[in-house]
Amino acid sequence: MRQRHVKQATIENMTMMGVLFEPQPLKLPHDQRIHLEIGSGKGQFIAKLSKDYPEDIFIALEIDMDICYRIAEKKVLYGLDNLIILCTSAELIDLWIPFETIDILYLNFSDPWPKAKHHKRRLTWPLMLDKYRMLFKEGGILQCRTDHLDFFLDSQTYMEPIFTITEVDYHLPPSPYMTEYEEKKRVKGPIYQLKGTIHHD
């Protein structure tokens, strides 16, 4: 369903709320855990984590301005000074994130692009995984969560040459940290989760 336009979702308003639009290398501390979620939607998942773990840094990336505004609302409402919001494309992530700074990267319910001719658009496609690989600290974790089985199985295949697979879960139980989409989809079928760690050569 197409997101309804939010009148307040202007660059000016969102900049005042702390949203970043122009690609620029972020100055991230080396002594804190850095979490990145690509495709944050309305931000329920990452906002809850940010609130519960104020000692960590969280980065939410979302390309749709209207949806990104909903993340910014949560940042302001809960005073989440440890939450950085990027309104940008995943393909530009290496222009924002310095090499070897990310501890955990979350891909929650990414578009599965089910048609074979569109698979290269997937956020777990090998070219994207290569891009993420450079952003991880040693031992960094990639966590992929989805309700689409084919996408889940394909993503495992994509990840295996690059990551050490540490979790393959076909029936992920509910947790305090779920996206709005996950809460809606749980009543219709299983949720799948895949985790892998990266080790630099």
Report, as residue numbers or ranges, the catalytic residues. Answer: 111
Cα–Cα distance for residue pair 103/71, rounded to 1 Å: 21
Tokens of 116: 């074979």
Cα–Cα distance for residue pair 130/103, rounded to 1 Å: 16
